[in-house]
Structure 1
Amino acid sequence: MSEATGRMSEATGKGTGAVGAASRHPVIRNEATTEIPVHLLFRDEAGDTGETPVTPVAPGATVVGRRQGTGEQRRVSGPGSRAARAADRTPAERPGPAGPGWAAVGVGLAAAAGCAALLWWVGLAPGPVRVALGLPPRTYDGMGVGDWGALFALAAVGLCAVGGLTRGKEGHALVLTLFGAYRGSVRRTGLVWLSPLLVRRRVDVTLKHWRSEPLPVADRGGIPLRVVVLVVWRVADTARATLGVSDHAGHLRGQVEAGLARVFSQLPADALGAGGSGEGRTVRDAAAVGDALTRQVAARAAAAGIEVFSVQPLRVEYAPEVAGAMRRRRFAALDAADRERALTTAVDAVEDTVRRLTVRGLVGELDDYERRSLVRELTVAYLGGR
């Protein structure tokens, strides 16, 4: 009896231990009977569960933090994410449904011939036409349902064949839409057949040169400027240029103005420093400014299907309201720089002259007063001669 009681208590202890171990790791059973450990739902760090570390966030992006204790993952948003999502939703250019025009002309002529034959068969062919074609006369006994159906079918085929004919031009593309949905683009030239149900928009895809009017910008110091640029561009993706933006030419103009504001705000209009040397990068460095403008505008215009080859500044000048003051300032700076160079040259020449006179023994030992007098006279002579 004591041995049985001991075995029962031992079994009871084992069961209690198993229950206690299970209670330390509770689980939730969902409708699919999948066991999910509760403690994993409240892990916020990837290292606690052995997951792969999160990819670093791109520069300029904003991280929306997750709520502690919920297992919610971080959401990343940035200035380029909205534009990227909009570009992804815009369909890319693809070939549209188009057929050869000569085939449509043949179908239209065949349909017309079928209609004429049907009218002759039922006896409705005009007399002159029948005589000209050498057809025997036939008596009109009325048209049945089948005759009317065949006549309407032939007429519909002929109208569809002739109504879908269009002419493709060199340097132009046709963007096709059906009930507002993009169906493709056609770049074929010559006689082309398109479905009459498709809405067509003609887009110019030739290379274009746009010379802007004077655009207002400001340099790094806030000095207002007027800049004229030459932009070489073309439409590369007709679908994005037509359906992605309302006006691709206006979109390009806006990107050019934004690029000018970004590039010119980082450079001074003139590099006349304290020494008046005029060295350093300025907005008048056409090569460097043009390369920077081309890169920025091309990167941002590509989302609208526009390919930008070059953006070069042609003329940079001060705004009319500050032009007079800035010219006077520039001339004063140039004059000060010239005076400083002249003075430096004169002082170097006087020093060299005094040293040579002393070394060659042309003058004896000079006291401070005599040396100052000699230096003064030589300086006046050099500057006066200049």
Structure 2
Amino acid sequence: MSTTTSHTPPDSEGEPEAAVASGGDPDRLIHNETTTEIPVHLLYRDAPDPATSVTVPLKPVVVAGRHGIGEQSRLPGRPPARGRPLPDVDPELMERPARVLPGAVGVLAGLCGLLGCLVISWWAGLLSPVAVAVLRLPRSAGVGLGPVQWVAYAGAGVLGIIGFGGLVRGRSERAWVLGLFGRYRGTVRRTGLLWVNPMVPRRLVDVRLRHWRSEAMPAADPDGLALRVVVLVVWRVRDTARAVLGIEDHEAYLRECVEAALARVPVEPQGESPDGVTAAGDALSRLVAEETAPVGLEVFSVQPVRVEYAPEVAPAMHRRRMAALDARQRAGMLSSVVDAVEDTVTRLTARGLVELDDYERKALVRDLTVAFCSGRGEPS
């Protein structure tokens, strides 16, 4: 049961009146609303003293999980979602430099292994007297091959194999991706002679700026007619770890992304619109770049270089374009004939060469039109 009380200010004339209305509660339009009783004397109190007043910041009242009325509550720090987010990238697949040594270290280790094998052979007495004389070595004791000599041979051989086997040549715009036991170990982008652990498998990746001209791919124009489009893609590998280890074949993935983008972006045939191919190329470049970025590829441009109608609709579209071209030519010829007739009649009458009434003017216009159309229609 609700009660409404009205209060007349003291400065008004007459006695204050009070009215009490009783009745059932009306139906609430918003079921989760709340009401708060306000004392009547607070409505007409004097203005607060600025020196003694205290300001309390107000906070919105949350009612049934909502802020106020008509606004959904949002968790702080979480902006509304805008489309599907990109897939998460494993931190282990972020490109990082691998640990390598200068090539001189591998050459020195290989030479030490060869020298060790030579010394062991001299120690065991396996060198011929001629080799001993040429190398100016002292006379060997000739102890023969025993367990000690075999162990020394094995050590020197392993040292030589590791030294020479780990030598690689780093080239510009090439990168070596290293991995061991299925784990990414780093990428080598340095140039020159380097030494890499020969026990670590490595894969050479081309990181140069590359151009790929595709084969004819299916597409559609704004009207939904089938097209065959050849595109030129300018791209490169930006993150070798994700491009090599994140997917099976990054070149095949790029080709599939271009085909998927052509299925979603309409392409206008060349000659239909001056900016149609350019706009389609910009849309394709933006879409393919967004889809290939999570796998370490950087796409700079995807531009259609040849746009043709599919064989099943090509004859019909050729006839349609020829008819439109013929109509434009006829309209242009008619406009030029009308301008020529108008200019001729105006000059004749303005200079006073002839005096024409309406009937003669119409006849002259008709004859000049026929004459000009016949002259324009004759092959040159």
| TM-score clears 0.5 | yes
Distance of 2:161 and 2:63 partners within structure 1 = 69
Paired position in structure 2 for 1:267? 268
Per-residue deviation, 1:246: 1.1
- Please list, as runs of the form range in 1=range in 2, the aligned pairs for 1:79-228 lying within 5 A after superposition: 81=85, 83-85=86-88, 87-88=89-90, 91-114=93-116, 124-126=124-126, 128=128, 131-132=132-133, 133-137=137-141, 155-228=157-230
Distance of 1:165 and 1:358 partners within structure 2 = 97
Paired position in structure 2 for 1:385? 375
Q: Deviations over 1:220-262 (max 9, x none)?
A: 1222222233333332322122112211111222223334344
Paired position in structure 1 for 2:38? none
Paired position in structure 2 for 1:322? 313
Name the amino acid aligned to 1:328.
Answer: R
Is residue 170–residue 191 contact of structure 2 (8 Å, CA) maintained in 1? Answer: yes
Distance 1:131 1:352, change over 3 A: closer
RMSD in angstroms over aligned alpha carbons? Answer: 3.8
Paired position in structure 2 for 1:306? 297
Paired position in structure 1 for 2:355? 363
Distance of 2:142 and 2:67 partners within structure 1 = 91
Paired position in structure 2 for 1:297? 288
- Secondary structure at 1:320's aligned position in 2? coil
Is residue 220–residue 268 contact of structure 1 (8 Å, CA) maintained in 2? Answer: no
Paired position in structure 1 for 2:330? 339
Name the amino acid aligned to 2:268.
Answer: L
Is residue 116–residue 125 contact of structure 1 (8 Å, CA) maintained in 2? Answer: no
Q: Deviations over 1:56-78 (max 9, x none)?
A: 4354x2xxxxxxxxxxxxxxxx1
Residue 282 of structure 1: which of 267, 276, 285 is its match? 276
1:44 aligns with 2:65: yes
Name the amino acid aligned to 1:281.
Answer: D
Distance of 2:101 and 2:375 partners within structure 1 = 87
Distance of 1:141 and 1:307 partners within structure 2 = 60
Comparing 352-361 with 304-313, greater Cα deviation is found at 352-361
Distance of 2:109 and 2:237 partners within structure 1 = 35
Distance of 2:346 and 2:143 partners within structure 1 = 133
Unaligned runs of 5+ in 2: 1-60
Distance 1:358 1:158, change over 3 A: closer
Distance of 1:46 and 1:90 partners within structure 2 = 43
- Secondary structure at 1:321's aligned position in 2? coil
Distance of 1:184 and 1:43 partners within structure 2 = 53
Distance of 2:184 and 2:290 partners within structure 1 = 25
Distance of 2:321 and 2:214 partners within structure 1 = 27
Distance of 1:139 and 1:267 partners within structure 2 = 87
Is residue 230–residue 304 contact of structure 2 (8 Å, CA) maintained in 1? Answer: yes
Q: Name the structure with the higher helix share.
A: 1
Paired position in structure 2 for 1:232? 234
Q: Deviations over 1:338-382 (max 9, x none)?
A: 11222233334444555555555632543xx55544443333233
Is residue 90–residue 244 contact of structure 1 (8 Å, CA) maintained in 2? Answer: no
Distance 1:44 1:299, change over 3 A: same
Per-residue deviation, 1:41: 11
Distance of 2:341 and 2:109 partners within structure 1 = 101
Name the amino acid aligned to 1:383.
Answer: C
Q: Deviations over 1:105-157 (max 9, x none)?
A: 3223334545665677xx6342537955214416579757xx88777655544
Is residue 233–residue 303 contact of structure 2 (8 Å, CA) maintained in 1? Answer: yes
Name the amino acid aligned to 2:370.
Answer: V
Is residue 100–residue 193 contact of structure 1 (8 Å, CA) maintained in 2? Answer: yes
Paired position in structure 2 for 1:68? none
Unaligned runs of 5+ in 1: 1-39, 62-77, 272-278
Paired position in structure 1 for 2:259? 257
Is residue 106–residue 195 contact of structure 2 (8 Å, CA) maintained in 1? Answer: yes
Distance of 1:292 and 1:299 partners within structure 2 = 11
The number of equivalent residue pairs is: 308
Is residue 124–residue 140 contact of structure 2 (8 Å, CA) maintained in 1? Answer: no
Is residue 220–residue 267 contact of structure 2 (8 Å, CA) maintained in 1? Answer: no
Name the amino acid aligned to 1:347.
Answer: V
Distance 1:149 1:46, change over 3 A: farther
